[in-house]
């Protein structure tokens, strides 16, 4: 069943159902309620927000210790600075390898927000496994914020 869910998520991405949105924060894409399943009728919503300025900025949905599996439902990246750029975005710990997205977004003085939501959760590559998003910012960045949101089943 999990392989079908992952295949459906990959297909949704390929056909363009998972488009980037210019929205602020994960709350607009993620109401804090996880879809229920027959496996675990009361999943746990998880959100992780981190801030950085230059170099790598890393947000992690921590590995559950109870045998559960993380599912990623989306992320946001926002930043401000003089002429900084945020590229690439790498998501690791997911089933069948990592996702790498080149996001060529120069940060203008007014700031920028990139948000990606997935119509179906992307599974971690196993139970008790963290999902990690890593991005970079150059030395002119004033602030880079990264948010991940998902569910544990």
pLDDT digits (tens, 9 = 90+) for 85-126: 667 899 999 999 999 988 766 656 556 678 888 878 899 999
Looking at residue 85, its pLDDT comes to 65
Q: What are phi and psi of 81, to 5 degrees?
A: 165, 180
pLDDT of residue 60: 96
The answer to whether residue 29 scores a pLDDT higher than 50 is no
Model pTM?
A: 0.73
Number of domains in the chain: 1
Find the domain containing 105 and state its range.
2-152
CATH number at residue 136: 2.60.120
Comparing 3 with 138, which gets the higher pLDDT?
138
pLDDT for res 1 = 33
What pLDDT was estimated at residue 8? 34
pLDDT for residue 37:
67
Q: Are 108 and 71 in contact (CB under 8 A)?
A: no
Which among 52, 51, 37 has a CA at the least distance from the CA of 121? Answer: 37
pLDDT at 39: 66
Cβ distance 42 to 66 under 8 Å? Answer: no
State the average pLDDT for the chain.
74
Distance, CA of 77 to CA of 54 (rounded, Å): 14
């Amino acid at each position: 069943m999990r392989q079908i869910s992952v295949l459906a998520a990959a297909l949704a991405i390929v056909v363009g159902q998972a488009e980037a949105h210019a929205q602020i924060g994960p709350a607009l894409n993620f109401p804090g309620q996880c879809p229920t399943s027959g496996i675990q009728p009361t999943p746990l919503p998880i959100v992780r927000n981190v801030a950085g300025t230059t170099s790598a900025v890393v947000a992690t949905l921590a590995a559950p210790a109870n045998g559960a599996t993380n599912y990623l439902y989306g992320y946001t990246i926002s930043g401000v600075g003089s002429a900084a750029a945020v590229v690439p975005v790498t998501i690791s710990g997911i089933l069948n390898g990592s996702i790498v997205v080149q996001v060529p977004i120069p940060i203008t003085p007014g700031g920028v927000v990139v948000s990606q939501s997935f119509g179906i959760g992307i599974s971690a590559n196993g139970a008790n496994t963290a999902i990690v998003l890593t991005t970079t910012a150059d030395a002119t960045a004033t602030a880079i914020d990264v948010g991940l949101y998902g569910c544990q089943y």
